[in-house]
Amino acid sequence: MRFPNIEFFKNNVSEFESATGITVEWVEIPHDNMHERFVQEAISQSGAIDIYDTDQPWISEFASKGYLEPLGDKLSEEDKSDFYDSCIRCIFL
């Protein structure tokens, strides 16, 4: 099964790297293994994964266990303008 957001990120990673100077190492984890892998990485605090693209049902679980970090104070107002208001309220605060 292919997910449209994965294709979007893959198709735009070069533009992101050029604009930011950040090199992206793409790690695609089969959906059946994602939850286990994310929890293992969070518990070990290995720092191997900087950004997760995860299923919504796991967000509250990960947040309640302290696996997620609010981004509200790490982004400028200009950066925040790239996101829908509903995302800002739910994710970054």
- Rounded to two decimals, the pTM is 0.62
- The number of beta carbons lying within 10 Å of the beta carbon of residue 26 is 8
- Each residue's pLDDT tens digit, 61-89: 888 898 887 777 777 888 888 777 776 66
Decide: 37 and 30 in contact? Cβ < 8 Å.
no
The tokens for 57 are: 């049902």
- Residue 93 pLDDT > 70: no
Q: Which residue, 32, 28, 38, is CA-closest to 67?
A: 38
- The amino acid present at 4, given as its one-letter code, is P
Decide: 58 and 65 in contact? Cβ < 8 Å.
no
